[in-house]
Amino acid sequence: MGKSGRFSGDEPTDGELVRRYLAGDDGAFEAVYARYRRPLYAYLNRMLPGQSATVDDLYQQTWVKAVNWLRRYRDRDRFLAWLLRIAHNVVVDYYRRHAVRDEVAMATVPVEADRATPGARLIRDEENAVLKEAVDRLPKEQREVVWMRLSGLSFREIAAVQHTSVNTALGRMHYAIKHLKTRLIEDEALA
């Protein structure tokens, strides 16, 4: 999908689908839902690892809020960033309601599928586990930025999700990388 939100072929943009849904075409919402159900579910699973029942509840709440707020969606925004901003707020509300003070582990490092030898996969898996552990130790806002960048969001979109400026999002990524380098070097020295 390009910046215009257009998919390959003659598929309508997200904005076109939203306008059609608001005009009464329920099938248009089904198309938007099909496009973003997996990325939304993956995002929530990363924010709430091991809490599948809670993820399912928050997933539904996010879609309900998205439907209720579709009139607020502006075609200039990427729909995924808009949807993740809603999901982020739903998770924050969940933690506020449940008075959970522990930080949420949000970052995971995707393991790309490849045809590497078993030994190479084992080394890669070990490296990914070390990197994931280092990312998990970052402050919450920095972990969020790292995960969202790995998910393909721009810094402008990350800033919108985090309700901050682009410069703050860039700064958080800068500090995350700096902390990761330091921690990985320290861990290597201890090994």
Over 90: is that where the pLDDT of 100 sits? no
pLDDT digits (tens, 9 = 90+) for 163-182: 888 888 888 888 888 888 88
The domains of the chain are located at 1-104, 107-191
For 141-168, what is the mean pLDDT?
A: 83
Over 70: is that where the pLDDT of 152 sits? yes
Q: Please provide the size of the chain in residues.
A: 191
Per-position DSSP letters for 23-50, written without gaps between them: TT-HHHHHHHHHHHHHHHHHHHHHHSTT
Q: Which fold has domain 1-104?
A: Rna Polymerase Sigma Factor; Chain: A (1.10.1740)
For 127-133, what is the mean pLDDT?
A: 72
| Closest C-alpha to 14, from 33, 42, 37 | 33
Give me the pLDDT at residue 112, please. 42
pTM of the model: 0.54
**Level-2 CATH architecture, domain 107-191:** Orthogonal Bundle (1.10)
* Cα gap 39→44, rounded to integer Å: 9
Look up residue 179 and give its DSSP letter.
H
pLDDT digits (tens, 9 = 90+) for 60-79: 999 989 998 988 888 777 89
